[in-house]
A and B are shown apart, each in its own frame.
Chain A
Amino acid sequence: MSGKIGSAIKRREDPALITGRGRYTDDLKLPGMLHAAIVRSPHAHARIRGIDIAAAKASPGVHGVFTAEDVNAAGLPGMVPVGWLLPELKTPPHPILASEKVNHVGDAVAVVVADERYQARDAADLVEVDYEPLPASSNPKKTTEGAQQIHDEAPNNIAFDWEIGDRAKTDAAFAAAAHTVEVDLTNNRLIPFAIEPRAVIADYDGDRGAITVHMTTQNPHVHRLLMCLASLGFPEHKVRVVAPEVGGGFGSKIHHYADETIVCLCSIKLGRPVKWTATRTETNLTDAHGRDHVTHAELALDEGGKITGLRVETWANMGAYLSTFAPAVPTYLYGTLLSGQYDIPAIHAHVVGTFTNTCPVDAYRGAGRPEATFVVERLMHLAGEATGLGPAEIRRRNFVRPDAFPYETQVALTYDSGNYEPALDRALELVGYDALVAEQAERRKDRTRPQIGIGFSNFIEACGLAPSAVVGSLGAQAGQWESADVRVHPTGTVTVYTGSSSHGQGHETTFAQIVADKLGLEVDQVEVVHGDTDKVQFGMGTYGSRSAAVGGSAIARSVEKIVEKSKRIAAHLLEASAEDIDFAGGKFTVKGSPESSLGWADVTLQAYLAHNYPDDLEPGLSATTFYDPSNFTYPFGSHICVVEVDPETGNTRLLQYVAVDDVGNVINPMIVEGQVHGGLAQGIGQALWEGTAYDEQAQLLTGSLMDYALPKIHNLPMYTLDRTVTPCPHNPLGVKGVGEAGAIASPPAVVNAVLDALQPWGVRHLDMPLHAEKVWRATQA
C-alpha cells in the first residue's frame, strides 16, 4: 500500500481492534497469576489509628494482605515522586500506602491478593481500618482561608505561589484604559475517563531480581524511571515496562500512580504474577483529574478596542498530593499561553497552587492551555460586547500580524509562525455568519422562542515542550526530546523503534508513512515498534500533542542519516562520488547519467554483505536519533459554535460546530481529523455536561457514570472541519501537533455561544458545565 505523507490511508492498527483480537492489559493472563484489590480510604481526611488485616487474611483464596509496614520491610522506598519542581515548591511525601494519615477519598491503605478477582474484592472489604476523621477541604481558594492543614510542609495549604509577566506595567495599562472588562470564573474539574480503566500486571523474577510490569501507560520509560528513582527503587536494567494496547489516556496514563508499585510489592512478596484492574469508581477517585481553577481576570483596552493589558489571578487546585507533572500545568502551561493569538503589550498572571483533600490534579488533554484559552476567549467575548465591536472585529484588531513572527509574547514564549486572520475568515464563511446573525436578530424579538447563540474561540497551543535545556531550567525533571531507531534490514524493509507510545493515535500507521514516503517504500514494508522498554531505546512517550512533531521528527532525522549513508554505498557501487548521487522513489542514480542506477534493495543488501564496499564506512544500515526540538510548535485555529437555547427548558442544542485548524503539514488527514473530532467532544463535554463534584466533606459525588455525564452520541452534531496550513519552520516535517486542539478551543466557543444566546436576559457569565437547570435559572432572573 502506498502511503505518502499527506494521504488518508486506513490504519494498520484496526484489524485486531475491530475483531476483538487487540490485547489490553486486563486481557493478559500469565501462568499462576493472582488478583489484587486495593483498600482505599472512604474519608477525605483522617488519621489512621490502626489497621486490622486478620479477617481479610483468613478469607477464602487470599494469599496475602499488605500495608505500609510491608513496603518498608521489603526495602522499597515507597514514595510517589513529583517530576516538575518550581521555586519554593512544597513537596510533601506521598507514600504508596498510607500509614499515618489519609488525605483524599481513594488514598490507598492496604492491598489484598487472592486467587481470583471476586475473592480479592470480598477480602478487601474485610480489612478494618480505624480512622479518626479530620475536617476536609475541596475548594482551591477556600483551602487557603483557615481550612485544616493537610501537610505540615505546606502552611495554609499553599503548594506554590507563582507569577509571570510585568505587574507594574500591567497595572499602568489598566490605569490608562478606555475600556476594561472583568470576569470571575471557575474552570470545572474534569475526570479524564479513558474507557479502559487503569490496570497493572507485575511479574517478579526472584532469581534475576527483576520485574516485568505490563500496564496502561502513555510513557513506559518515564514510568520505569519514576518507579526506579522513587517508589520501587529497583535498578533500571532490572525493570521492564510494557504497554500492551492502551484504551485511551488523555493524560491520565502519563502519571505514576501508587497502584503501580503496590502491585509490584504484591508480586515481590508472593513470587507470582499479580494483576490489578481498577474499578470505574476507583478510576474516578484516583485517575489524576484535570483543570479546577478559580480565576479573576481583567482586560484593558484603548478607545479603538486594542488590548493594552491583561491581569489574571488564579487559584489552582493541586489535590491532596503533587502528581507527576502537576506543578507545570497551571504555571508554565497556563501563564505562558495567556497572550493567545493577540498582541498584548502588558500581561501579569499570579497563580497560587493549593492542596485540598481531593484527587490529585495533573495534565488532562490540553493541560493548562484550555484553562488559559478559556480565560482569554471569555474576556474577548466580553470585550466585543463592551466596545460594541462584536466577536469577530475585536479579535481581528488584536491578532498578532502575520509579518510580526517570530513574535515574542509578554509571557515568555516566542511564537515561531502564525497567520490568524485567514482561519477566522474561513470559519465565518463555513458557518454562514451573516445569515446566522440575521436569524438571531429575528429570534431575539420574541424571548419565549429558542434563541440562537454564536460563540467564537481563537486559540493557540504550544506543543512539543522544548528544548530540553529550557524545559529543565523551568523545573522539569526530565528531557523533552524523543528517540527513534530506524533499522533497515538487508532486504530493504524497515523496522522503526520509537520512544513515542501510541494509545489510539495511530502511530503505527503515520510513522510508517513518514519512512515509506522518504525512502520510496510501500507502508507495508515498514514496521513500527513501541511501548516496551526491553525493545525500544529510552523514549519520552505520547502526551502534549508531541508525537508527530517530536517523535515523527526523530524518525525523519534517522531516515535522513540512512539516506546519507546509503548514498555513499551507492556511490561506491556506481563508481561515482556521493555528491553526484540522487535518491528518489527508491532509486539511486548518478546525476546526468540516469542509465547508471541502483535500486534501494541493491544498496541495503550491500550494506550488510559489505563485500564491495567503501573502505572508510562501517557495514550495516540503521540510525538512532534523539531529537531535541529548538522550540515549541504553535498550532492555532479559529472555531465557531452555534447553539440554540430553549428558555422553556434551559436545554442547549448544538446546531453547528466549525473548526478551522492550522496544525502545519499533515501526515494522515484522516487521523488528524479524528483527533480534532475527539478533542471537540471532550471540550464540548466540559462546557455542557462534565463536572466533578465534591461535597463539603470532600466526598466525591461523581464516582461513576451514574453521576458523571460524558458526552453521548445523540448530544453531538457532525463537525465541520477545515484547515489552513502554516508549516512549522523548525522541524524536518513542518508538523505542529493536533491531539489537544479540539479540547483547548471548544469550551470557550460553546460557552460564548450559550451566553450569546442569553444576551436578551443580560447574563454576562455562567460557570461550566452549562447544564439545563443552570441555563434555565439564568433565564428566570
Chain B
Amino acid sequence: MGVPIKVQVNGKTYERTVEPRTLLVHFLREELGLTGTNVGCETSLCGACTVMVDGKTVKSCTQLALQADGSSVTTIEGIADGDRLSAVQEGFWEKHGLQCGYCTPGMIMAATHLLSENPKPSEAEIRAGLKGNLCRCTGYHNIVEAVKYAAAKMA
C-alpha cells in the first residue's frame, strides 16, 4: 500500500514510504519526529499546523504527505539559524506574543511568510496577513506587537 516519497525538510532529505492517506502533519510529527507543528482543528481554520512548502504557507493538516513529494518543507524547527533565533521568534519572546504556545509555531510560520512578502506591514496588514491563524490565549494584541518588532529588527 505504501508509496515512496522524497521530501526535503528543514534542509535535510528524507526518503520514506507512506500510506497514501497520511496527512503531511502526521508525516512530520510521527514519521520524522518533528512535533513542533501542532494539530488544532483538522479543517484548515486554526493554522496551528502551518508549515512552509516551497516557500508558501500550507495548512499541513489538510495536505497529504504525498503532495509534498519532491518539495522542500520548512517547519518551526527549521526557522532559527542554529541557536540564533529568527527575528520573528525573537519578537514573539520580547513582546509576549504567546502564552500556552500551542498556536505559536503556526503563527511564527505565517508571520515569517507575511514579512517575506511585505517587510513593512501596517497594523491592518499584519492582522489581514495572520487571519488564517487562531490564538485563544493572547487576544492577538501582543502578536501584532511581535510582528512589528520583527519587521523593525529586519529593516
List residues of A whose CB falls within 8 A of some B CB. 10-11, 13-24, 26-27, 29, 116-118, 193-197, 245-248, 250, 277, 279-280, 503-506, 670-671, 673-674, 676-682, 704-706, 710-714, 716, 718-719, 742
Contacts and interface: CB of A to CB of B under 8 A. Distances in A.
B116 to A, nearest CB: 18
Interface string B74-90: 01110110000100010
Given A19-B36, A705-B46, A670 B96 contact: yes
Contacts of A117: 26
Given A247-B38, A719-B139, A678 B99 contact: yes
B152 interface: no
B98 interface: yes
Nearest to B37: A20
Contact of B35 (A17, A20, A247, A710): A20
A681 B99 CA distance: 14
A118 B141 CA distance: 38
Contacts of A245: 100-102
B41 to A, nearest CB: 5
A29 B46 CA distance: 24
B140 A713 contact: yes
B53 interface: no
Contacts of A674: 96, 99, 137-138, 142
Contact of A11 (B21, B96, B139): B96
A118 B99 contact: no
B136 A680 contact: no
B131 interface: yes
Contacts of A673: 96
Contact of B89 (A19, A247, A671, A677): A19
B7 interface: no
A13 B93 CA distance: 9
14 contacts: A11-B96, A18-B98, A19-B77, A26-B38, A195-B48, A248-B100, A505-B99, A677-B141, A678-B136, A705-B43, A705-B46, A713-B135, A713-B143, A714-B131
Interface string B32-71: 0111111111110110100000000000000000000000
Nearest to B45: A705
B6 interface: no
A673 B137 CA distance: 12
Contacts of A705: 41, 43, 45-46, 134
Interface string B7-43: 0000000000001011000100110011111111111
A196 B138 contact: no
Nearest to A18: B89
A118 B29 CA distance: 14
A678 B103 CA distance: 14
A718 B96 contact: no
A92 B140 CA distance: 42
Given A18-B85, A678-B99, A713 B127 contact: yes
A4 B45 CA distance: 40
Contacts of A26: 35, 38-39
Contacts of A116: 30
A107 to B, nearest CB: 21
Interface string B117-155: 000000110111011011111111111100000000000
Nearest to A15: B93
Contacts of A713: 126-127, 130-131, 133, 135, 140, 143-144
Nearest to A22: B101
Given A10-B93, A20-B105, A712-B131, A195 B138 contact: no
B77 A714 contact: no
A19 B130 contact: no
Given A250-B136, A712-B131, A280 B43 contact: yes
A604 B101 CA distance: 36
Given A195-B134, A247-B38, A677-B141, A706 B43 contact: yes
Interface of B: 19, 21-22, 26, 29-30, 33-43, 45-46, 48, 75-77, 79-80, 85, 89, 92-94, 96, 98-105, 108, 123-124, 126-128, 130-131, 133-144
Nearest to A502: B100
A193 B130 CA distance: 19
A686 B62 CA distance: 28
Contacts of B38: 24, 26, 195-196, 247
A280 B42 contact: yes
Contacts of A503: 100
Contacts of A504: 99-101, 137
Nearest to A281: B42
Given A11-B93, A193-B136, A674-B96, A18 B104 contact: yes
Nearest to A246: B100
Contact of A197 (B22, B40, B98, B131): B40
A367 to B, nearest CB: 16
A704 B41 contact: yes
Contact of A18 (B37, B108, B143): B108
Closest 4 CB pairs of A and B: A20-B36, A247-B102, A17-B101, A504-B100
A19 B76 contact: yes
A703 B93 CA distance: 33
Nearest to B123: A718
A245 B94 CA distance: 20
A676 B144 CA distance: 16
Contact of B141 (A248, A505, A718): A718
A576 B40 CA distance: 61
Contacts of A21: 36, 77
A569 to B, nearest CB: 39
B102 A195 contact: yes
Given A22-B101, A719-B139, 13 more contacts: A16-B101, A17-B101, A18-B92, A246-B100, A248-B99, A277-B39, A279-B42, A280-B42, A674-B96, A677-B138, A678-B138, A706-B45, A713-B127
Contacts of B131: 712-714
B51 to A, nearest CB: 10
Contacts of B35: 20, 23-24, 26-27
A738 to B, nearest CB: 13
A247 B5 CA distance: 32
Contact of B139 (A16, A29, A195, A680): A680
A541 B139 CA distance: 24
